[in-house]
Amino acid sequence: MKKIITLATLLALSSSAFAGFQDTNAGNYITNVQTAKKQYDNTPVTLEGYFIRQIDDDEFIFRDNSGEIKVDVEDRAWFGVNVTPNDRVRIHGSVDKEFAEATTIDVYQIQKIN
């Protein structure tokens, strides 16, 4: 009987060790440029489209079917991926809203889509 109680206690304790908040919306941020422009600052977004031109070292114009937006790409976001304006990509980042400036996207990860 002691073994059964001990085993039940251990199972109960071990299952609570893995408990925690699990966001049911995690990863569901795929949107488009037009919608992203209307979001709040720091809202996570995932966009699919094309880099159409480079503005400077880390700023680009990104286009999808709904429009264009300036994106600021962190160096580590590239992960060794090389893209051209003809390559469809998925970018992960967040909305960046500054007072009296156009909305941009801070890009944290880029994936080439086949």
With a cut of 70, list the residues of the chain below it in pLDDT.
Answer: 1-28
The whole-angstrom separation of Cα 59 and Cα 70 is 7
The pLDDT of residue 87: 97
**114, amino acid identity:** N
Q: Which tokens belong to 46?
A: 């995932």
CA 25-76-38 angle, 5° bins: 40
The pLDDT of residue 91: 96
The pLDDT of residue 3: 59
Q: What is the DSSP string of 56-106?
A: SSSEEEEEETTEEEEEEE-GGGGTT----TTS-EEEEEEEE--TTS--EEE
The pLDDT of residue 70: 98
